Amino acid sequence: MKKKILYLLLFLTVVISGCSDRIIDIFTANSPVYMSYEDLRQAVQQKAASDLINPGKIYFKDNFIFIVEEMKGIHVIDNSDPANPVNITFIEVPGNVDIAVKGNILYADSYIDMVAIDVSDMGNVREVGRVEKILPYTLPVFDEEYPLARIDQDEGVVVGWEVKQVREEIEQYYYPYYREVMGGWTNDVAKGGSGGVSSGGIGVGGSMARFGISENTLYAVDQNTLHIFSITNPETPEHKKDFNAGWGIETLFILDKHMFLGSQNGMRIYDISVPNSPMYLSDFWHVTGCDPVVVQDDIAYITLRGGNRCGNNFNLLVLVSIKNMRKPVELISYPMEGPYGLGIDGNLLFICDGDAGLKVYDAKDPMDIANHQLARFPEIIAYDVIPFGGVLMLIGDDGLYQYDYQDVNNITLLSKIQVGQ
């Protein structure tokens, strides 16, 4: 009898402790504005050329420059004459942040989807393929003075916010309870014509890219996952697998059969000889910082930027020997002011040093780069660069700049497309 009473008391204790009341919480918050999944998958379309407003990633192929208008789509610039670039069309792709091009197909993220867009004819740009629900559910920038209201992923993707009073039913428990927070969100969007791109070759991206192509494989990296797609049939990308690539991944650079991932605390190297099964080779660890990486020959060039979400106040250019891919070794580091992207062409090293502008160095002697600055353009808040064929394409906070660097002693501005023009 005593045992029965004891079991009854334990049962009642569990039941009572698990009881909850539902209450209404009223507060001012970022209330989500949704686009339905149906509308998202009908939204890719060509429009008339429009002004650059919030330019992001930059990509180049076949005399065309593609500039991401963050979360909106892609500006297409006819760069047949770098001294007179022409903004010819805009491709609307909601939720777009990154792009890559192979042949005449442009690949772009569109919130949770990966889309394939035929750009062989710039007068008739069209979506030709899509992989649905393959990328993380991300959120656009919100007003950090206010909390986020509840997100209902069944409603679609969040395309904006409305700061207003919201009413939410919450549950009050009589025992310790921790509300689940959904992962994968970020408030750092994580910063007509004729002719078109040809059916051959792969384009060139900037150092801040998260997309990369090696032969018939497209790689897309988020904070910790490498998404691998076969593009053997270019118009119908096929998701092959997801690969755990580490933590805090920010950039991706491919050279030959090797992939270099820049993370907040290091560089990770993979062998991609077997495209769908990257083989880990090594890590190079450094202080926490935002860091793109580019590679030439047996040296990796890494910029570290401190402040904000990057976690420290170190601003550096770090050179790493990768003669032995399994044992990368730091060679030397140089102080910078707030570096973002970088690029290298032969002995010329271009660094976007934030508020300090564009810096150009002779990198012939890696151990003495600081004493061989060739030029500096301090009036630009520079973000990323692509040096190609004697022309430097630079994206800054106020637009697209292009420089002729064929004469390293007389690097000159060729053109600029201003934000708002």
Six-digit token string for 12: 């009642």
d(CA 131, CA 46): 20
d(CA 317, CA 198): 36
Task: Classify residue 60: in a domain, yes or no.
Answer: yes
Closest CA to 287 of 304, 275, 309: 304
Task: Classify residue 265: in a domain, yes or no.
Answer: no
Alpha helices in 288-408 (DSSP H): none
Question: Is the separation of the CB atoms in 76 and 122 below 8 Å?
Answer: yes
* Rg (the chain; Cα; Å): 24
pLDDT, tens only, 87-130? 999 999 999 999 999 999 999 999 999 999 999 999 999 999 99
Task: Classify residue 35: in a domain, yes or no.
Answer: yes
Per-residue pLDDT of the chain (421 residues; tens, 9 = 90+): 444 443 333 333 434 344 445 677 788 999 999 999 999 999 999 999 999 999 999 999 999 999 999 999 999 999 999 999 999 999 999 999 999 999 999 999 999 999 999 999 999 999 999 999 999 998 898 999 999 999 999 999 999 999 999 887 655 433 332 223 333 333 333 333 447 787 779 999 999 999 999 999 999 999 889 999 999 999 999 999 999 998 889 899 999 999 999 988 889 999 999 999 999 999 998 655 567 999 999 999 999 987 655 556 789 999 999 999 999 999 999 999 999 999 999 999 999 998 899 999 999 999 999 999 999 999 899 999 999 999 999 999 999 999 999 999 999 999 999 998 6
Six-digit token string for 190: 């994580």
Q: What is the helix (H) or strand (E) element at residue 6, kind and residue range? A: helix 2-17
Number of domains composing the chain: 1
Per the structure, the complete domain to which residue 113 belongs is given by 27-206
Task: Classify residue 68: in a domain, yes or no.
Answer: yes
Closest CA to 369 of 329, 342, 388: 342
Residues 6+ apart with CB under 8 A from 11: none
φ, ψ for residue 293, nearest 5 deg = -140, 140
pTM of this structure: 0.87
Question: Is the separation of the CB atoms in 278 and 270 below 8 Å?
Answer: yes
Task: Classify residue 161: in a domain, yes or no.
Answer: yes
Task: Classify residue 71: in a domain, yes or no.
Answer: yes
Indicate the DSSP class of residue 183. S
Torsion-angle region of 256 (φ positive above 0: left; ψ -120 to 50: alpha; else: beta): left
Q: How far is CA 400 from CA 379, 382, 385, 414, in A?
A: 13, 10, 10, 11
- The contacts found for 242-245 with CB under 8 angstroms, 24 or more apart, are 243/278, 245/221, 245/270, 245/278
Task: Classify residue 381: in a domain, yes or no.
Answer: no
Task: Classify residue 190: in a domain, yes or no.
Answer: yes
